[in-house]
Structure 1
Amino acid sequence: MKLLADGLPDFPDFPPGEVWLAGAGPGDPGLLTLHALHALRAADDIVHDALVDPRILQLAGNQAKLIFAGKRGGRPSSQQADINDLLIERARMGRRVLRLKGGDPFVFGRGGEEALALTRAGLRFRIIPGITSGLAAAALAGIPATMRETNHAVILVAGSRAVDDTSAAEWEKLASAGQPIIVYMPMANLPEIMSAFERGGMAPDTPAVIISSSTTPEERIIETQLGTAARDAAMQGVDAPAIVIVGAIAEMRQRLLANMVGAR
């Protein structure tokens, strides 16, 4: 099947009864991969999460049935076991099933759990990686994940985990590693996370950037510091979906912003 131009290669067939686990990227349809676009056009059922931008769903084929199966922290959400069962049920009906997730399905997207469920059910599946939202949001805000002058590693962590007595020490250890940290899904626990980073050795004036709804018309970017990030987010009414970038790379934004085309 030719998708866009004659010079492009053939794309894989999407047989009935298969499930494709695909990433939709951070939001902007221009950041979809060609394989994800092909899957959108070919699928019979598109089981999508809450973070898939409506503009992307508009690219679905006319035959596609859109099935919402979103998971949002602190809100009524589909249970993962139910989503797994739904994918299996629709595939066994002979449908071409696309499980479409914001970002990348294998980066805090539970794609691995779904792949295991499909394997146990004896169903064939394909993985289509997406641009993971944390790295994309950082890059598009003028923040490189790594810089030779500052860091040779970066920590990606899910902030949806509660910061309680049993896990606080783990958060402190992340800070003590001395590397920049990109926190996905941080808003529900932001004060506790920032406090744990301070206890782990990060200075209160460590640069931090909060990015919400990256690449969408609702995108907001707040430049702040570790010690004031939670207060600034609350004062400005920042809500999920968001990421927080903490560390030396965050200050690169101001060094690049003036000449960066498309920056906000």
Structure 2
Amino acid sequence: MGKWTVLSVTSRNQALNSSREYGTNWYVTYRLQYKPSTFGGFVEPPKMAWDEVIMYNDYTKKEHWSFSGNFYTRKPDSPTMSVWAQRYFRAYLQAHNRPFVAFGGSQKGHSKLFDLKGLAVSGQTLGIHNGEANQNKAVQDYLKKNGGILEIEVHDIPNVIKPTLPNDKHIERVLIFNCGVMGMGPRATGWQHIKMDSAQPEAKWTYNFQTGGSAPGLKTSGLKVVADPTPQGNLLPTGGIW
């Protein structure tokens, strides 16, 4: 049977401050190597581990909620997470220089296929195939025969929507990321702290994103604990494979 190895998990981030959003562009790039075997069929890689902690205080509503878990297995068809399940046909499209368009015309993240020497695999090498299922198979067949490297980049945009008149907004949120592959390889870590108060000028809001050190905690005294509202569901995205 073939074998997957996680070569690297790296990250980069960029502050986001638009007229509507206040947060971070957070990119995590996975490089996975597959080495085939003479015996046995193709083996799928382990699932992505997008382990995340959310702590959220709404001081206007006097409420607190929290979440801890793997966002990929919780909502694999989300615009952020879906690139992992769509890794094969999106690598096929990339090899053919064809854009992947979904979610209202936006593309988040990418998947690219390289040979074992690190050179990009061409569309000519993969051939012409129609439909996600056939495009998935073309990349799987290439890896089964030749081995190769998949580069999967997940693009998350953790942000808070800015307040608009006449609505008041006074919130504080801490996110903690621990991203890798389930059961193997290195991790990329980071944390974000945002405190927003519509009664204060934006210059007095708090924004911090770090890839080292410890995230701050939140004081929850006097706040009512409410149910976690994060979306969930185990549906795969179009053309997705666990």
Structure-1-length-normalised TM-score:
0.24
Which structure has greater helix proportion? 1
- The one of the two structures with greater contact order (alpha-carbon pairs below 8 A, sep at least 6) is 2
Structure-2-length-normalised TM-score:
0.25
Which structure has greater strand proportion? 2
